[in-house]
Structure 1
Amino acid sequence: MKKATWNGVVIAESEDTVNIEGNHYFPISSINKEYFELNETHSNCPWKGIASYYNVVVDGKVNKDAAWFYPTPSELARSIKDRVAFWKGVIVE
């Protein structure tokens, strides 16, 4: 079971993650949505496509762009469709 935590709170938990480039992508259904705030940030990966980001908000503290996902991943990255990955201090173990 993989668990993502930030600021002492479990924000996602799943036995079904996909590991790509060292990042565990959790099913969107496994995130605790109360801690996620969609924002306007986007980035482009040459082989996965355009990523969108969430701020992670716990106890009034905001971790900007701490989670990302690919709304329409490329064919090469189809295994991460409807999945979310983390960085910026989010602990995945």
Structure 2
Amino acid sequence: MGTLLLMTKAFFKDTLIAQSDWYIEVEGNVYFPPEALNREYLKNNEKTTHCGWKGTANYYDVVVNGTTANAAAWYYPEPLEEALKIKDHVAFGAEIQVEP
């Protein structure tokens, strides 16, 4: 788990979903800080998954102009101790383009 300083953006259908000049990378996924998100494009999804060292992840659908990427973003609202650095940070699945 490392913190990086580099302007990074997440897009869906050419729409900016998140942007930050710092993020945390975990297992190849970029976790954006909560304040970097354009929340108007994130809708709660009931899906949850569990990771043995991060805890339970909650999901968002990403919705842009009526097109939905189901459960394409996730975050850990109550991470386990080893993953406290990513609390409430959001990562995106393959449907979302993340670029430096």
Unaligned 5+ segments in structure 1 are none
Number of aligned pairs?
93
RMSD across aligned positions (CA): 0.6
Residue type at the aligned position of 1:53: Y
Do the aligned partners of 1:27 and 1:84 also contact (CA within 8 Å) in 2?
Answer: yes
Q: Deviations over 1:35-60 (max 9, x none)?
A: 00011100000110000000000000
Matching residue within 73, 80, 83 for 1:74: 80
Q: CA deviation at 1:89?
A: 1.4
Unaligned 5+ segments in structure 2 are 1-6
- Which TM-score applies when normalising by structure 1? 0.97
- 1:51 equivalent to 2:63? Answer no
Q: Deviations over 1:17-37 (max 9, x none)?
A: 000000000011110011000
For 1:59 and 1:84, locate their aligned partners in 2 and report how far apart those are by CA, in whole Å. Answer: 21
Identity fraction in percent: 47
For 1:14 and 1:65, locate their aligned partners in 2 and report how far apart those are by CA, in whole Å. Answer: 21
Q: Which residue of 2 aligns with 1:65?
A: 71
- Which TM-score applies when normalising by structure 2? 0.91
Q: CA deviation at 1:16?
A: 1.5
Matching residue within 11, 36, 57 for 1:5: 11
For 1:26 and 1:43, locate their aligned partners in 2 and report how far apart those are by CA, in whole Å. Answer: 19
Q: Which residue of 1 aligns with 2:95?
A: 89
For 1:89 and 1:63, locate their aligned partners in 2 and report how far apart those are by CA, in whole Å. Answer: 7
